[in-house]
Amino acid sequence: MDIDRVSAMEVGLTVGDSIERLEATATGFGFVEFGLAEAADVPERIDDARLQAACDELGLALDIHLPFKQDVATPVSEINDAIVEYQRQLLSWAGSVGARKAVLHGTVRNPSDVSLRPTFASQLADIVEAGRDEDVEVVVENVGHQKLGLPLSVLGDIATEVDAPICFDIGHAYMEDGNEGIERFLRKYGELVSHLHVHDARKRGDTHLPVGAGEIDYELLSTQLGSFDGTVAVEVFTDDVDLLTDTARRVATTFETDSDY
């Protein structure tokens, strides 16, 4: 499998760590992004056979989201070594269940400590390489609006430095720096974007809304990314299938892509 990019844009659905949600909501999508929770017994607690059977039955490819709260870099080298080893184990599991991509939050213990940025770059490079060993593309996600997230431009520069593919979360970028920040990031780093998280947001704090319910200018995606040939995951926090498919349809329309939604 060529893990650099898929040959044409695919629209999928994030389903958290719930196989039940996958079974109930993912019909008609091209893939699911299955989340690994924060429990200490991940991935042992996951029913691999059921996960794979659900994907097979619905004709879905599988991507995963690595644990949300795990720092990528800290000031302590021994902890950093353990983080890479932990992610390596998760990526080995991801490869064993046929996952194509793995989303990694771009976090450090203290984002304002510029001395940690080279450490983050080294950690990210090692985790990306661990993914390649398992034929899983690790894509680093922008979470600069959160306490431990690196700012958009810093994440983009580091991803460029270590040749790491990016998961661009348009809602997170909007919460951090508005539509102007989305445009700047995509104009400078768009070539590295392999995976998108799509949802809408409002500056007052609402996020993961259906596209069209918030303030994000979605035309920026097609303007800056052109004919995007990566993967697009609908990350709307609802189990209402009509709302999920409406967001998929709107995003496909933005890219002028034919859709069955």
Report pLDDT digits (tens) over 240-259.
Answer: 999 999 999 999 999 876 55
pLDDT for position 258: 58
pLDDT for position 223: 94
Classified as helix, coil or strand, 155 is helix
Q: Sketch the domain layout of the chain as residue ranges.
A: 10-254
Question: Chain-centre distance of CA 175, in angstroms?
Answer: 16
Instruction: Name the helix (H) or strand (E) containing 127.
Output: helix 117-133
The fold of the 10-254 domain, in CATH, is: TIM Barrel (3.20.20)
Strands 166-169 and 61-65: unpaired
Asked whether 13 and 29 are in contact (CB, 8 A), the reply is yes
Asked whether 56 and 50 are in contact (CB, 8 A), the reply is no
Ramachandran sector of residue 242 (left: φ over 0; alpha: ψ -120 to 50; beta: rest): alpha
Residues of the chain with pLDDT under 50: 1-7
C-alpha span between 72 and 80 (Å, rounded): 7
